[in-house]
Structure 1
Amino acid sequence: MSEVLVKPLRLVRTRTYVWSAAAVLLLALPFYLDRFWLQAGLFAMAAAIGAIGINLLTGATGQLSMGHAFFLAVGAYGYCVFAGDGGDGLTGLGLPTWLAAVLAVLVAGGAGGLFSPIAGRLSGAYLGIATLALVFIGQHVMFNAHDLTGGANGRDVPPLNLFGLTFDDRELLVAAVPFGSAEKLWYAGLVLLLAGGLFARGVLRGRPGRAMNAIRDHRIAAGVIGVPVARYRAAVFVLSSMYAGLAGVLLALVFQRTVPDYFGITLSLEYLAMIVIGGLGSVSGAVVGAVFVSLLPQLLTRYSDALPLVSAPGTGGIAPGEASRYLYGAAVVLVVLFLPGGLVRVAARRRVTTHPGEER
């Protein structure tokens, strides 16, 4: 077998080993990590799901959205309304929690569908400003629709129950290791992230992905060759909203309480930072950027006493949350200036073979 064929085979085999090792590691982590790291990982998974959604819209289709936090809130509060039993005095339909999660994602998609006629006709900064209005509307509703949202104090999140397994803090012994809510949700988060990533990858690699990229690169030319631009824009907006709704449901289950303050404009900006840092138009870029942006404040909080210029929350100085925003703001600037393709493009560039026996 020639060297030209042997090298690709080796690359495929190496990739298979790497992915297999990563899968085993992720499955084993709940047996060894404490609750802090598991929750941090779950936040990263939820962020990655939401980032994949906005990357389909902004990275692949070129539609700027500043309202991603609104659809996360719809998913989180929708789950609480559908799954709640009304025992806390708030509106609750008492549906099975798995059904409540599905309906919350569909409601988030429905909210995106109501906005999709606007998304299909606006682009660039105009769409960004229009979606920004959704965040302010959502904040007003969350603070004032007390029967649905609990107002400023938020509302408790019913634990997920699936196939007789309740994802709460009641301990379940697995191989002599006590599994609480974080350990149980870890595997649910992995499944949701894997399913969401594979679906988005299939979309981007198929005919819809080519149409989305054509709309992003040259909208008028895409329309000339027969791409229904407005319809694709509207459909991608709905799909992105459903990803955000799913991320909101997972976040609610991890937090165990929803509060309006979390779903503000800062959250929308963080999602834009995720896809810019990781790489626009790439599923792996969305995941890398989400891990970077979501884990950074957690790490700074954990090690604030050992880091210069960073102080524990409430003690004065630069709080971990502020420091993290400074850092990933700087990361956005550096990526835009020196790595316009994002962090994943650096790894991809190394794998490109320019000559049989020579790699760039």
Structure 2
Amino acid sequence: MSDVLATGKGAPRTAGGGPARRLPGTRALVWTAFAALLLALPFYLDRFWLQAGLFAMAAAIGAIGLNLLTGATGQLSMGHAFFLAVGAYGYCVLAGDGGGDGLVGLGLPTWLAAVLAVLLAGAAGGLFSPIAGRLRGAYLGIATLALIFIGQHVLFNARELTGGFNGRDVPPLSLFGLRFDDSELVVAAVPFGAAEKLWYVGLALLLGGALFARGVLRGRPGRALNAIRDHRVAAGVMGVPVARHRAAVFVLSSMYAGLAGVLLALVFQRTVPDHFGITLSLEYLAMIVIGGLGSVSGAVVGAFFVSLLPQLLTRYSDALPLVSAPGTGGIAPGEASRYLYGAAVVAVVLFLPGGLVRVAARRRAEVRHTPGEER
């Protein structure tokens, strides 16, 4: 049977009429070349593009966590920005020394502060998880929306911890004796500043987070989460502990958000409360819808699209029609980007329900099953 399928009419064929064979190691070679390209980019790109890439990496990590919650399990969360704030400010408090500005800081080693900040975000998700385990749909979305308002109130008023309206500086990461700040490090005659050094940290975190999430989705936990999303009652009848899985994935999603918050703070070098509002949560929902619900690669694609769009519009606003600096009569780049990815969300919902990655997957399947020329 397998021989018939391998040599059937629908299989790709060579010019001689026999079945086409893939070159061994072609896929591995492509991925190796892509990885080498990513590793070499800090040697060639300027600071703007590196920072844009780092913002996109941080967004992708947070989007992966939200996709585990919303895409794979079907739980709507509007409070993702709250857990990013917990990670970002948690790192600042744990790693900062306070100084003479009246801010609280524990002065822990920065690498330890980063780990504890991620765990702190997970603990915040754990405190909310009993609610997340019992609510679903719009009810959970409304409940998580309350976290945004609570978080904004704390960020603006707990000045000893957060710095209030002005925010607080972010201590640079220090790992294995290397400081990820603007202190110059020369590699192959190329000066490496904070953005160049953090580029490799962001790549490592994004790769590790993507592989872990992919393992979760492809294993037994992922099948249980999908069963809960598709038919909660049937999943419970089959023995899946629905409330426990919902609570666990909420904690895991919160930890991803905390990790994204830490990386975002390191790139910004200063945290301000205005960034962690309802708009950020809506942007994360747009990321996973545009990229593809329930897909790790979809979360990454959507995050890069939504994160890079406003920065590109800002960069090239002078050359684009209708887009201009605020107060000059045109549309501000940030506002224009929200219009565009809002339109993209509508287009995906109406015409591409699987997101961008589903389109790419269908295209690859069509190419793979295109019949060869018959003699």
> So what's the TM-score if we normalise by structure 1?
0.96
Q: Which amino acid aligns with 1:211?
A: A
Q: Which of 141, 152, 164 is 1:151 aligned to?
A: 164
Aligned to 1:191: 204
Q: Which amino acid aligns with 2:88?
A: A
Q: 1:303 Cα deviation (Å)?
A: 0.3
Distance across 2 between alignment mates of 1:221 and 1:261: 43
Q: 1:316 Cα deviation (Å)?
A: 3.5
Q: Which amino acid aligns with 2:268?
A: F
CA shift in 2, pair 1:28/1:355, >3 Å: closer
3-state SS in 2 of match to 1:170: coil
Aligned to 2:95: 83
CA shift in 2, pair 1:290/1:354, >3 Å: closer
Aligned to 1:31: 43
Aligned to 2:16: none
3-state SS in 2 of match to 1:178: strand
Q: 1:89 Cα deviation (Å)?
A: 2.2
CA shift in 2, pair 1:112/1:11, >3 Å: farther
Q: Which amino acid aligns with 1:254?
A: V
Q: Deviations over 1:165-219 (max 9, x none)?
A: 0000011000000000000000000000000000000000000000000000000
Distance across 2 between alignment mates of 1:126 and 1:11: 52
Distance across 1 between alignment mates of 2:85 and 2:286: 19
Q: Is it true that 1:64 corresponds to 2:76 in the alignment?
A: yes
Q: Deviations over 1:211-237 (max 9, x none)?
A: 000000000010010000000000000
Aligned to 1:231: 244
Q: Which amino acid aligns with 1:15?
A: R
Aligned to 2:301: 288
Q: Deviations over 1:71-124 (max 9, x none)?
A: 000000000000001113200000000000000000000000000000000000
3-state SS in 2 of match to 1:358: coil
Q: Which amino acid aligns with 2:225?
A: M
> How many corresponding residue pairs?
359
Aligned to 1:111: 124
Distance across 1 between alignment mates of 2:368 and 2:301: 29
CA shift in 2, pair 1:166/1:314, >3 Å: farther
Q: Deviations over 1:127-167 (max 9, x none)?
A: 00000000000000000000000000000000000000000
Tell me, yes or no, if the aligned pair for 2:232 and 2:242 is still in contact at 8 Å.
yes
Q: Which amino acid aligns with 2:332?
A: A
Aligned to 1:310: 323
Aligned to 1:140: 153
Q: Which of 266, 281, 292 is 1:279 aligned to?
A: 292
Gaps of 5+ in 1: none
Q: 1:11 Cα deviation (Å)?
A: 7.7
Distance across 2 between alignment mates of 1:296 and 1:358: 38
CA shift in 2, pair 1:31/1:297, >3 Å: same
Q: Which of 246, 250, 262 is 2:259 aligned to?
A: 246
Q: 1:22 Cα deviation (Å)?
A: 1.2
Q: Deviations over 1:34-70 (max 9, x none)?
A: 0000000000000000000000000000000000000
Aligned to 1:126: 139
Which structure has the larger Rg?
Answer: 2
More off after superposition, 64-73 vs 315-324: 315-324
CA shift in 2, pair 1:355/1:255, >3 Å: closer
Q: 1:341 Cα deviation (Å)?
A: 0.2
3-state SS in 2 of match to 1:173: strand
Aligned to 1:328: 341
3-state SS in 2 of match to 1:121: coil
Q: Is it true that 1:222 corresponds to 2:222 in the alignment?
A: no
Aligned to 2:283: 270
Distance across 1 between alignment mates of 2:93 and 2:20: 52
Q: Which amino acid aligns with 2:262?
A: V
More off after superposition, 310-319 vs 169-178: 310-319
Aligned to 2:54: 42
Tell me, yes or no, if the aligned pair for 2:12 and 2:369 is still in contact at 8 Å.
no
Tell me, yes or no, if the aligned pair for 2:289 and 2:348 is still in contact at 8 Å.
yes
CA shift in 2, pair 1:356/1:182, >3 Å: closer
Distance across 2 between alignment mates of 1:344 and 1:12: 25
Distance across 2 between alignment mates of 1:21 and 1:193: 18
> So what's the TM-score if we normalise by structure 2?
0.92
CA shift in 2, pair 1:12/1:124, >3 Å: farther
3-state SS in 1 of match to 2:133: helix
Q: Which amino acid aligns with 2:311?
A: Q
Distance across 1 between alignment mates of 2:274 and 2:87: 15
CA shift in 2, pair 1:221/1:301, >3 Å: same
3-state SS in 2 of match to 1:10: coil
CA shift in 2, pair 1:262/1:349, >3 Å: same
Q: 1:355 Cα deviation (Å)?
A: 8.1
Q: Is it true that 1:205 corresponds to 2:203 in the alignment?
A: no
What percentage of residue pairs aligned between the two structures are identical?
86
Distance across 2 between alignment mates of 1:89 and 1:242: 29
